[in-house]
Amino acid sequence: MKIGIADTTFARVNMGRVAIDEIRRHASVGIERSTVPGIKDLPVACKKLIEERGCDIVMALGMPGGVEKDRMCAHEASQGLILAQLMTNRHIIEVFVHADEAKDDQELAWLLEQRTREHALNAVKLALYPKELEKAAGTGQRQGFPDVGPARQ
Ligand code: RDL
Ligand code: RDL
Ligand code: RDL
């Protein structure tokens, strides 16, 4: 089992390093990493991690900035990541933290790290323990900010 990590220099936290640290806490797997300038470069980086470097699942880590142009860019990157998943029949866990989700730099840094860690665990579960995700079905999970929980108690 090999997990791929694609991240960007645009992000304001070293998301790739955080993801690798978290994966290592939960699983003994091979890890391949590719760092690119920004989120629009992630789809092909992920596809190459799958097709050329043998990854079974990949995490795409990025930080869309806070202005309208960046939201557009994130949407485009997201479309590319979905296309890459359909082309390769492999999951690419998209970990995006929009810069304007956080109220200040301190919260942004926390959110970038926390969402990355929680999705790293999701990636490990998808790859190795899919029944664990089934147990959490319908429980209102979120990554970073608190879970919202099920609608019916
Ligand atoms: O291929 C080079 C760049 O076009 C690519 O790296 C882009 O993803 C860079 N980029 C933008 O051009 C932009 O307008 C990024 C953002 N916004 C952004 O919000 N987050 C990024 N990249 O990671
Ligand atoms: O690949 C991991 C996640 O990016 C992916 O599971 C997304 O679908 C998660 N997600 C969002 O990132 C988001 O901004 C979801 C929503 N909104 C949403 O409204 N409902 C979801 N997922 O089920
Ligand atoms: O309900 C508050 C948030 O969940 C909502 O604003 C989400 O859209 C925030 N969000 C993203 O914008 C995103 O790109 C989330 C994710 N990705 C994600 O992967 N997991 C989340 N929220 O819980």
List, for residues 95-148, the tens digit of each pLDDT value: 999 999 999 999 999 999 999 999 999 999 999 999 999 999 999 999 999 999
DSSP code of residue 64? -
User: Within a domain: residue 33?
Assistant: yes
User: Within a domain: residue 121?
Assistant: yes
Which CATH number fits the domain that encloses residue 109?
Answer: 3.40.50.960
Mutate to test the pocket of ligand 3, among 126, 142, 148 (most ligand atoms within 8 A of CB): 142
Q: Please give the residue range of the domain that contains residue 69.
A: 2-136
User: Within a domain: residue 85?
Assistant: yes
Task: State the virtual CA torsion across 86, 14, 147, 22 in degrees, nearest 10.
Answer: 80
Tens of pLDDT, residues 68-87: 999 999 999 999 999 999 99
The domain total for the chain is: 1
Residue type, 9: T
User: Within a domain: residue 42?
Assistant: yes
User: Within a domain: residue 148?
Assistant: no
Q: How far is CA 51 from CA 5, 55, 88, 93, in A?
A: 14, 7, 8, 16
Residue 90: per-residue pLDDT:
98
User: Within a domain: residue 144?
Assistant: no
For residue 148, the CA-to-ligand 3 centroid distance in Å is: 12
User: Within a domain: residue 149?
Assistant: no
Residue 11 reports pLDDT greater than 90:
yes
User: Within a domain: residue 90?
Assistant: yes
Cβ contact 58:90 at 8 Å: yes
